[in-house]
A and B are shown apart, each in its own frame.
Chain A
């Protein structure tokens, strides 16, 4: 088993990398004093980065397997546009003034509602094909995006800024309650996805073959979609839209540890978490006192890394 060393390297290096992320902050390098607010804020930020990155990467792995599509990512079934619409609604109706939970909750509910709508549209004669799912996802996303654009055009100036900045992604989480709730959903969701690992392996051969291999395909596909959407919705509602992680990390990890989902899901979660935590550490320190939107960082750091890995292991599987 020649691949056996890479997973352990990733797992063992995780605490060290996360600790290193704690050392980088706009208020100075090194660990801030534990009694200051800065320590808590930096800790929350590193935790948020790790959890959100894990959720997006894990959702990406699950969706790429279920839809058998290398371009699948957490937002492919409309989670992003649904959550964006929910966020805009919360901002425009003034709900955000009532509680800090309003925006994430509204984004979360709308993301789940979007998945329900996409699945309902894709269902035909009691069966759901993956092509129908992808197409419905694209259609619903397009419609919701234009609704979002319409709402944005009606927004007042300060509301507009909030909507736009929210869309760019933001790793600073104001409310510890939101951080806890979303992390809980994600930390429960990832093991749930992992339980489906053996079925996901079989499903990469197609739904019919998986059926022959003894997988209850309808239940597994539904469950997989729901879990992937749930954790990506939780991630999006906490930190806004962050691209690239959910698309690229699954590919990179597949190259590193192989396609077996029993290994891939936990390691992609750890890898995605580390990747986002590191990207955010760079984004918040590189041009102090400003912060670069973390989505910019994930693409800038992830792109070259991805290409390097692809070139090193060109021969296997997707994107040959």
Chain B
């Protein structure tokens, strides 16, 4: 099986900003792949690099072993066709003329389209079921008809790869399926490699065999639906709680954002104390306040980014002077504040000799049999001399403390008011 698309250590961007950061992946001929990721993840840039609109700053892109910018325009258009989200032309081209535009690169400059061109256009119109619309101007068609006409135009290029660039975003449920079914047929019957990018994860899950998940210009996950479409990975990338359910009968996967299932004021009357610092508590503080929890935080150094957020949100905070180790006095005050808390959360903050004292708050709460939630593993961010933080953490976990990864997870572990 031939390699259709290959990205080797590709970085790419506009002017001075790098959007794609050292991307590596391979796509074989005949695959149907979805490129997923939140807004700004780099999907559009990846497509631009793939079609030769943008040259990578480092690394190599190969399309059937040719870098796109070395291909002649004509050859490139015979390899890759693009179906965009939307296509407008100010001229009153009719459907047949639009589909004929797919033949642009293969037409002679000197002659009108020949019999072969007409045959191909005819076939593409039949394939996408728009032959009846051939004399209608594109601008008069409905969204679904228009998009099918554009797919036909892309088909008329007779490409080996088709890129669906948000091609179904403007369509309703039924027309989405219509367009995707055409793509699937192309893929399975004609062996065309299909690469789609979409925000509609369910649609992608329904039609694609492989998924490439991008976030902040990097490939976060690459593989089958069970490798990529997991609650943990998706909730990390999309920063929201996600439910992934597999239909027992069909095996198809449904993905839905879950946070709307939890009541919004779930935290009313419940007190939470955070051990944070260096911005590790920012997002969690926001979420907790939004959910109605009563939040305290400490000890934080004055000037720390978490301090600013805490002030802005009205979180009760115990402060220490900037860049100073935590004093006994501050710790005492913080312990007092934490004593009324129902839950203690330790955020993803590194521990050193200066702030290891903060773990005493968790220890104290643990002794009182209050729930303690610790982010990730403290061993990996323990910078104290004798691994004091790790020791405390081990003790806490043995005493019943739990760990968490990602905000949706910790939110789920919190007690809720009735």
Q: Which A residues are within 8 Å of any B CB, using their own CB?
A: 65, 68-70, 125, 195, 197-199, 201-202, 204-206, 208-216, 254, 258-260, 262, 315-318
Contacts and interface: CB of A to CB of B under 8 A. Distances in A.
17 contacts: A69-B90, A70-B90, A204-B93, A205-B89, A208-B53, A209-B84, A209-B87, A210-B104, A211-B51, A214-B76, A214-B78, A214-B106, A254-B91, A259-B92, A317-B92, A318-B90, A318-B91
Interface string B25-45: 000000000000000000000
Interface centre among A199, A205, A208 (most CB of B within 10 A): A205
In order of increasing CB-CB distance, the 10 nearest A-B pairs are A214-B105, A214-B77, A317-B92, A316-B92, A259-B91, A212-B82, A213-B104, A202-B104, A216-B73, A214-B73
Contacts of A68: 90
Contacts of A212: 51, 77, 80-82
Contact of B101 (A195, A213, A254, A316): A213
A316 B135 CA distance: 12
A23 B102 CA distance: 48
A214 B74 contact: yes
Given A202-B101, A317-B91, A318-B90, A209 B76 contact: no
B51 A205 contact: no
Contacts, number: 88
A254 B93 CA distance: 10
B28 to A, nearest CB: 22
B97 interface: yes
A254 B140 CA distance: 17
Contacts of A70: 90
A202 B53 CA distance: 16
A260 B139 contact: no
B137 interface: yes
Contacts of A199: 104
Contacts of B328: none
A213 B92 contact: no
Interface centre among B53, B87, B93, B157 (most CB of A within 10 A): B93
Contacts of B88: 205-206
Interface in B58-102: 73-74, 76-78, 80-82, 84, 87-94, 97, 101-102
Nearest to A207: B53
B90 A198 contact: no
A214 B74 CA distance: 5
Given A125-B15, A209-B84, A315-B137, A215 B97 contact: no
A215 B106 CA distance: 10
B107 interface: yes
Contacts of A260: 93, 97
Interface of B: 15, 51-53, 73-74, 76-78, 80-82, 84, 87-94, 97, 101-102, 104-107, 109-110, 112, 137, 139-140, 153, 157
A198 B92 contact: no
Contacts of A258: 92, 94, 97
A67 to B, nearest CB: 10
B82 A209 contact: yes
Given A204-B90, A212-B77, A317-B92, A198 B97 contact: no
A24 B9 CA distance: 74
Contacts of B52: 211
A210 B157 CA distance: 12
A195 B107 CA distance: 12
Given A211-B52, A212-B82, A214-B74, 20 more contacts: A65-B91, A198-B104, A199-B104, A202-B104, A204-B90, A205-B87, A205-B101, A209-B87, A211-B53, A212-B77, A213-B102, A214-B76, A215-B73, A215-B104, A216-B73, A254-B92, A259-B91, A260-B97, A316-B137, A317-B91
Nearest to B77: A214
A61 B97 CA distance: 18
B146 to A, nearest CB: 12
Nearest to B74: A214
A259 B87 contact: no
Contact of B97 (A69, A214, A254, A259): A259
B105 A259 contact: no
Contacts of A204: 89-91, 93
Nearest to A196: B109
A316 B139 CA distance: 8
Contacts of B153: 213
Nearest to B51: A212
B87 A317 contact: no
B45 to A, nearest CB: 13
Nearest to B78: A214
Given A213-B102, A259-B97, A262-B112, A198 B107 contact: yes
Contacts of B74: 214
A258 B135 CA distance: 12
B109 A215 contact: no
Contacts of B137: 315-317
B77 to A, nearest CB: 3
A169 B210 CA distance: 66
A263 B109 CA distance: 13
Interface centre among B52, B74, B82, B91 (most CB of A within 10 A): B91
B104 A201 contact: yes
Given A125-B15, A318-B91, A214 B104 contact: yes
Given A70-B90, A318-B90, A201 B101 contact: yes
Contacts of B105: 213-215
Contacts of A215: 73, 104-105
Contacts of A214: 73-74, 76-78, 104-106, 157
Contacts of A210: 104
Contacts of B157: 213-214
B272 to A, nearest CB: 50
Contacts of A69: 90
Interface centre among B84, B87, B104, B140 (most CB of A within 10 A): B104
